[in-house]
Structure 1
Amino acid sequence: MSSPPANPNPEDHTRRERIERAMREADRTRVALYAVLAGLVGFYLAPLEAGLMTAFKTTEAFNQTVPFLPPIFGGFTFEPWQIAFDAMSGALINSLLLAIPGSVLSAGLGSIAAYGLTTIDWKYQMPLVALFVAGIFIPYQAVLVPLSRLYAIVNTQELLSFLWGLPLMHDHYASIINLIVTHVAYGIPITFLLFRGYYRSLSDDMIEAARLDGASVFSIYRNIVLPLSKPMFAVTLIYQFTQIWNDLLFALVILPSGGGAAAPVTIALNSLTGGIVESFNTQMAGAFVAALPTLLVYVLFGEQFAKGVAGET
């Protein structure tokens, strides 16, 4: 006959109960945490969802339904998007002509300045660094009057009059050039500071070895520093593109009244506001049209942006 099974150890049974109790409590805590996170996500996405639903509604459907509800009962239409795009198509091109050169120039000049003031030791280096840093803290409002006076004296349209007869060149590009110069000058300090912090993390031994091999300052920057700067270029380009694309204040001050043919997308979006009757569906569609390019930039360069923020090379 087989012997009866041994009695279970009371300590093992107690330990098993404690483990099962802890697992049940952990599951309840996890469920509660996920519920809170889902609630926060819904809270922050609610305005976006309401705006998107509004952009697909007719005016009658918007007036008769709650903004959060989708237009499922005959109120669905693409007309607000068509109206917004037709009204903003020229401004979208103007903003691209403004944001792309402005971002590239400010990032490139900020990189060169940071290289010269970080990896090379020379006299009066720190006072210049202090000037760049001080430029970050100058508010927009402090330079509006000097800028308007400057561009009233310096007539860019007359200075570049020889260009306006060329194909694809228009005289309102002079106003866009003024905006580009302004954003580049205002963007160099912040891009300089970002690149300076990035270049301080680079290996000094690598740069010193290149110097011992006889490489010039320009060769070191072009062949070593510049290829390693791709993640930080992604950060500065995305940052500058977003800042320039969303700017309204400089455009209102520097451009002629109403922006004219040089109006960027922010002025065009502001012009979508109605008079007596507000077209909220068209305004919401215009807001999404205006935000789409910056969203695409983040999607396309998001990986490089994350590497640059993390300080990876």
Structure 2
Amino acid sequence: MSGTPAAPDPENRTWTDRVRRSVRTTSTSRALLYVVLFALVAFYLAPLEAGIMTAFKTQNAFNTSLPFFPPLGDGFTLEAWRVALDKLQSGLVNSLLLAIPATVLSATLGSFAAYGITNVDWKYQMPIVALFVAGIFIPYQAVLVPLARLFTIVDTQALLSPLWGLPFMHEYYANLINLIIAHTAYGIPITFLLFRSYYRNFSDEMLEAARLDGASVFSIYRNIVLPLSKPMFAVTLIYQFTQVWNDLLFALVIIPSGSGSSAPVTVALNNLSGGIIQSFGLQMAGAFIAAIPTLIVYVLFGDQFAKGVAS
């Protein structure tokens, strides 16, 4: 006599069905999430992809195909990259000569000011902090006329005339020095604010112990504060380098018209778009070449930048 198979336990059956339903729901939700993320990535990278494709196309291929289509056959060319590099190489050198000193000076002076105001007790600290904060909100357009007038009165080229006879020194460097002064002064308020927020989290006991041991203000900064400031220096260096490298407004106002030898890369890139017929491949290639140094800076200091932002 064959026995009737026992019915599955309702509780176990319900639990099994619940697990299976959860797995199916999780898989569906994850798939939808991936689809949405992929769509967002494609949406944000579409202009970049179109720009890269345009930079490798001939003018005829650009006129006869959609921007994001890859160049095929005779439509592929590297001529735009060769011409762009040839026209931008002096601007790249000028921008490096401009951006590196301006970035280092503004970050260093901002660190000095933040340490002196945050970790050293003296009178009238808050009014000075208010002045620094006010300097952040001054727009570029508000200082263009005073800057242009200042560098018309102060002849940097004449003041530094003894240096122009030295090797590797050129008279047009005076225009770059004017830009370095302008960007350094304009960058100090924001670097000061970043360093001040960072230094306020320092342990008072640590600094007080150094003072009790007889360490001077400069010794404390050099031996304690400066080594601990590397993450914030990475933040300010990346931020300032990007701002100075991408600036066009100050360069157009401060550098006299016709001084092409001292023009930074943004001015040289702006000069690529001229005339009746626009070479979009040339402009795209020039834009990517001009962006390479900032990309290198982000790659080199990316880890420190993340630590500085997190702190």
Given the two structures, how large is their TM-score scaled by the length of structure 2?
A: 0.97
Amino acid corresponding to residue 119 of structure 1 in structure 2: N
Deviates more, 1:188-197 or 1:12-21: 12-21
Question: Would the aligned equivalents of 1:58 and 1:77 in 2 still touch at CA under 8 Å?
Answer: yes
Runs of 4+ with >3 A deviation: 3-8
1: distance between equivalents of 2:141 and 2:274?
Answer: 28
Distance 1:10 1:140, change over 3 A: same
Q: 1:6 Cα shift?
A: 6.2
Deviation string 1:89-134 (CA, Å, 9 cap, x unpaired) is: 0000000000000000000000000000001111011110111111
2: distance between equivalents of 1:48 and 1:110?
Answer: 35
Residue 193 of structure 1: aligned partner: 193
Amino acid corresponding to residue 295 of structure 2 in structure 1: L
Amino acid corresponding to residue 267 of structure 2 in structure 1: I
2: distance between equivalents of 1:221 and 1:147?
Answer: 33
2: distance between equivalents of 1:274 and 1:147?
Answer: 27
Helix, strand or coil at the partner of 1:253: helix
Residue 132 of structure 2: aligned partner: 132
Question: Would the aligned equivalents of 1:99 and 1:245 in 2 still touch at CA under 8 Å?
Answer: yes
Q: 1:64 Cα shift?
A: 1.4
Q: 1:61 Cα shift?
A: 1.3
Residue 158 of structure 1: aligned partner: 158
Q: 1:62 Cα shift?
A: 1.1
Question: Would the aligned equivalents of 1:252 and 1:258 in 2 still touch at CA under 8 Å?
Answer: no
2: distance between equivalents of 1:198 and 1:119?
Answer: 11
Deviation string 1:149-185 (CA, Å, 9 cap, x unpaired) is: 1000000000000011110000000000000000000
Residue 9 of structure 2: aligned partner: 9
Deviation string 1:19-45 (CA, Å, 9 cap, x unpaired) is: 211221111111111101100100110
Question: Would the aligned equivalents of 1:232 and 1:308 in 2 still touch at CA under 8 Å?
Answer: yes
Aligned residues: 309
Residue 75 of structure 2: aligned partner: 75
Give percent identity, aligned residues only: 71
Q: How does 1:257-276 map to 2 (within 5 A)?
A: 257-276=257-276
Residue 116 of structure 2: aligned partner: 116
Amino acid corresponding to residue 263 of structure 1 in structure 2: A
Deviates more, 1:199-208 or 1:226-235: 199-208
Residue 230 of structure 1: aligned partner: 230
1:24 pairs with 2:12: no
CA RMSD of aligned residues (A): 1.2
2: distance between equivalents of 1:64 and 1:260?
Answer: 35
Deviates more, 1:64-73 or 1:135-144: 64-73
1: distance between equivalents of 2:205 and 2:23?
Answer: 52
Residue 47 of structure 2: aligned partner: 47
Helix, strand or coil at the partner of 1:188: helix
1: distance between equivalents of 2:9 and 2:120?
Answer: 73
Deviates more, 1:138-147 or 1:70-79: 70-79
1:244 pairs with 2:244: yes
2: distance between equivalents of 1:301 and 1:70?
Answer: 33
Amino acid corresponding to residue 216 of structure 1 in structure 2: S
2: distance between equivalents of 1:18 and 1:230?
Answer: 52
Amino acid corresponding to residue 265 of structure 1 in structure 2: V
Contiguous gaps of at least 5 residues in structure 1: none
Residue 183 of structure 1: aligned partner: 183
Q: 1:72 Cα shift?
A: 2.0
Helix, strand or coil at the partner of 2:192: helix
Contiguous gaps of at least 5 residues in structure 2: none
Q: 1:81 Cα shift?
A: 0.4
1: distance between equivalents of 2:138 and 2:255?
Answer: 21
1: distance between equivalents of 2:96 and 2:26?
Answer: 51
Given the two structures, how large is their TM-score scaled by the length of structure 1?
A: 0.97
Q: 1:5 Cα shift?
A: 8.0
Helix, strand or coil at the partner of 2:77: coil
Question: Would the aligned equivalents of 1:259 and 1:267 in 2 still touch at CA under 8 Å?
Answer: no
Question: Would the aligned equivalents of 1:252 and 1:259 in 2 still touch at CA under 8 Å?
Answer: no
Helix, strand or coil at the partner of 2:75: coil
Residue 173 of structure 2: aligned partner: 173
Q: 1:73 Cα shift?
A: 2.2
Amino acid corresponding to residue 185 of structure 1 in structure 2: A
2: distance between equivalents of 1:205 and 1:4?
Answer: 80
Amino acid corresponding to residue 103 of structure 2 in structure 1: S
Residue 89 of structure 1: aligned partner: 89
